[in-house]
């Protein structure tokens, strides 16, 4: 996301610089010895450095409980690249970047840690642009932000800046999200807060905006007159992995729908913003969430939840959710959820948006399918009596990123026979370059100060406002059982029944 910079107006630079580079930055990672840092953040920094996207003056200070020296943290960095970025032995880029890494151990609630952090930042000659990354469990957000505030670390001098990236989950319901927002706002201005949702950093998700608003031919048909319904699927083959501690209290609705899939839905359904500015884009996305009809008000038929039982995935036998490490053997946490949503807007009135997501499904795929209405008349009926398929536009978010359009074509031959065909655009073959990881895009945007791809406080609250009543209804039902699906299956019968009631079917993926 290009951020406005004063030199952007210099005509002499036209055609010379395409990619903006952030001003000198220090990145302070809380949770530096954790999983997210190892799997995502350190590899993303390496890739940014390879692409020469990091600022010329760049420092990283890792903060965590574990005792580690600077050298150990640098080794940790190389190990993470070996495991997650395919850098078997340190190369020029990783060796140079490693030199800018240092580490400060301490307890996150200990004010002394923050004094040491201030001293360390001065010692390593850190610039006054400081980005704090909270890669820690959400229970620690409040303490860290309060302590940063008390240590004077949330206020910059002169033209410096201070920003905070907050990881998910952002609250567990509407009340806790509101409380967290209030607390953050006590110490930080909204423009300093970057609530990360890695789905917004995915190339295909961003491309939705370009696809819709930089082309003349799709937007005119992007409405209730031409679209029958929309299906958004986020299917995973993995189970709960080693995250039962978190997932037991979360479930699929909180883990995937409240954040990632509501974000995706808002980009599919939003009105065109007047300009591509962060506030305009986020205002229009907010309109979408505000327009979604309550999910539980008119009976419970709009939400289906289920939990995986033992089965087979990718040729391997896998245990059921209740048998996974750390999971309560009587758990009713949902690992699958399917929803039907209606938007109260002129564009979308009467068009259902179906969303489904689950773990231990047959394959890993995330896609958005726009199903168009059938042509009003089948004039080829006599020669080709089978019903014609309706047009379909599929955005493949991952893997195999791209966009496909299905339309009817004439089968070659002397008879008038029809068959559906696909027209495909694939990122890999069209551009011949790797799609960047979401965290690279988002880290860079935060350093540039561009919040377009981050969740604003009101969006987060609106989406909690949508799903908290569902959790309340589940809690009130106090059920001891939950529908099941076999691992390796496409979810429970109840989800198919929801579609069948509308005379529709889930796409076969």
Shorter beta-carbon distance to ligand BG6: residue 146 or 167: 167
- Could you write out the DSSP letters of every residue in 341-366? E-B-STTTTT--EEEEEESS-SS-EE
Site string for ligand BG6, 153-182 (x = CB under 6 A): ---------------x--------------
Residue 199: CB minimum distance to ligand BG6, A = 7
Contact 274, 324 (CB under 8 A): no
Distance in angstroms (rounded) separating the CA atoms of residues 2 and 18: 9
Q: CA–CA separation, 197 vs 481, rounded Å?
A: 31
Q: How many residues bind ligand BG6 (CB under 6 A)?
A: 5
Site track for ligand BG6 across 210-249, x = CB under 6 A: --------------------------x-------------
Close Cβ partners of 401 (under 8 Å, ≥ 6 residues apart)? 203, 204, 426, 427, 428, 435
Whole-angstrom distance between the N-terminal and C-terminal Cα of the chain? 32
Pairing of strands 311-313, 316-318: antiparallel
Q: Which residue bears the tokens 């978010």?
A: 397
Cα–Cα distance between 103 and 81 in angstroms, integer?
18
Nearer to ligand BG6, 54 or 253 (CB): 253
Q: 204 exposed, middle or buried (CB, 10 Å; 0-12, 13-18, 19+)?
A: buried
**Taking Cα atoms as reference points, which of 313, 238, 312, 230 lies closest to residue 267?**
230
How would DSSP label each residue in 400-452?
Answer: S-EEEEEEEEEPSSSS--EEEEEEEEEHHHHH-SPPPPHHHHHHHHHHHT--T
Q: Which is nearer to ligand BG6, 35 or 186 (CB)?
A: 35
Query: Tokens in use for 196?
Result: 């990360």
Q: Which residue is nearest to ligand BG6 (CB)?
A: 255
CB of 205 to ligand BG6, least distance (A): 10
| Minimum CB distance to ligand BG6, residue 496 (Å) | 23
DSSP character at residue 256: I
Cβ at position 198, least distance to ligand BG6 in Å: 6
Task: Please check whether residue 221 is in contact with residue 286, taking contact to mean a CB–CB distance below 8 angstroms.
Answer: no
Residue 246 burial (C-beta neighbours within 10 Å; 0-12, 13-18, 19+): middle
Task: Enter the tokens of residue 100.
Answer: 């800018």
Burial string for 24-45 (b: 16+ CB within 10 Å, else e) reads bbbbbbbbbbbebbbebbbbbb
Task: Select 61 or 85, whichever has its Cβ closest to ligand BG6.
Answer: 85
The CA angle 483-353-176, to the nearest 5 degrees, is 70
146 binds ligand BG6 (CB under 6 A): no
Compare residues 33 and 357 and give the one whose CB is closer to ligand BG6. Answer: 357
CB of 254 to ligand BG6, least distance (A): 9
Q: Which of residues 254-273 bind ligand BG6 (CB under 6 A)?
A: 255
| Closest to ligand BG6 by CB, 38 or 198 | 198
Q: Is 76 a catalytic residue?
A: no
Find the shortest distance in angstroms from Cβ 374 to ligand BG6.
32
The one catalytic residue in 260, 378, 457, 503 is 260
Min dist. Cβ of residue 473 to ligand BG6 (A): 23
198-217 binders of ligand BG6 (CB under 6 A): 198
Query: What's the min distance (Å) between Cβ of 424 and ligand BG6?
Result: 21
Question: What are the tokens at 454?
Answer: 């981050």
DSSP 456-473: -HHHHHHHHHHHHHHHHH
- Give me the residue label for tokens 């409380």: 179
CA 221 from centre of chain: 27
CB of 364 to ligand BG6, least distance (A): 7
Paired residues of 395 in beta bridges: 368, 403
- Per CB under 6 A, residues contacting ligand BG6 are 168, 198, 236, 255, 366
Residues acting as catalytic residues: 260
């Amino acid at each position: 996301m290009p951020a406005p910079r004063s030199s952007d107006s210099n005509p002499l630079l036209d055609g010379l610089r395409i990619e903006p580079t952030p001003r000198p930055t220090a990145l302070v990672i809380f949770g530096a010895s954790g999983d997210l840092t190892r799997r995502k953040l350190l590899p993303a920094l390496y890739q940014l450095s390879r692409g020469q996207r990091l600022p010329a003056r760049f420092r990283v200070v890792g903060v965590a409980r574990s005792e580690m020296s600077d050298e150990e943290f640098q080794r940790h960095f190389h190990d993470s690249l070996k495991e997650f970025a395919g850098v078997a032995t340190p190369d020029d880029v990783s060796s140079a970047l490693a030199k800018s890494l240092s580490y400060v151990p301490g307890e996150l609630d200990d004010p002394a840690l923050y004094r040491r952090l201030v001293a360390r930042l001065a010692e390593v000659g850190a610039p006054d642009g400081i980005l704090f990354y909270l890669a820690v469990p959400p229970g620690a957000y409040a303490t860290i932000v309060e302590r940063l505030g008390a240590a004077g670390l949330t206020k910059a001098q002169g033209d410096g800046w201070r920003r905070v990236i907050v990881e998910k989950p952002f609250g567990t319901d509407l009340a806790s999200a509101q409380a967290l927002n209030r607390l953050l706002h006590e110490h930080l201005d909204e423009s300093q807060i970057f609530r990360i949702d890695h789905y917004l950093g995915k190339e295909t998700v961003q491309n939705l905006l370009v696809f819709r608003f930089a082309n003349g031919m799709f937007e005119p048909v992007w409405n209730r007159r031409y679209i029958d319904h929309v299906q958004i699927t986020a299917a995973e083959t993995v189970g709960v992995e080693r995250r039962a501690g978190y997932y037991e209290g979360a479930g699929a609705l909180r883990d995937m729908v409240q954040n990632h899939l509501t974000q995706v839905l808002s980009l599919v359904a939003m009105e065109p913003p007047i300009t591509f500015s962060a506030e305009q884009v986020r205002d229009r996305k907010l309109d979408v969430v505000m327009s979604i009809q309550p999910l539980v008000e008119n009976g419970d038929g709009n939400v289906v939840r289920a939990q995986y039982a033992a089965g087979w995935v990718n040729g391997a036998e896998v245990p059921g959710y209740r048998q996974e490490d750390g999971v309560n053997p009587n758990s009713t946490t949902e690992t699958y959820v399917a929803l039907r949503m209606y938007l109260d807007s002129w564009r979308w009135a009467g068009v259902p948006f179906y969303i489904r997501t689950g773990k231990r499904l047959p394959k890993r795929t995330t896609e958005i399918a726009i199903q168009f209405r059938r042509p009003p008349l089948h004039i080829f009926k006599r020669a080709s009596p089978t019903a014609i398929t309706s047009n379909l536009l599929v955005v493949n978010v991952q893997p195999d990123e791209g966009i496909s359009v299905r339309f009817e074509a004439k089968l070659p031959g002397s008879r008038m026979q029809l068959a559906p065909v696909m027209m495909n655009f694939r990122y890999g073959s069209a551009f011949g370059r790797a799609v960047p990881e979401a965290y690279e895009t988002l880290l860079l945007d935060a350093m540039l100060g561009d919040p377009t791809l981050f969740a604003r406080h009101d969006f987060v609250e609106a989406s909690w406002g949508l799903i908290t009543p569902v959790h309340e209804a589940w809690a009130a039902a106090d059920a001891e059982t939950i529908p099941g699906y076999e691992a390796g299956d496409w979810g429970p019968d109840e989800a198919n029944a929801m579609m069948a009631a509308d005379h529709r079917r889930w796409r076969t993926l």
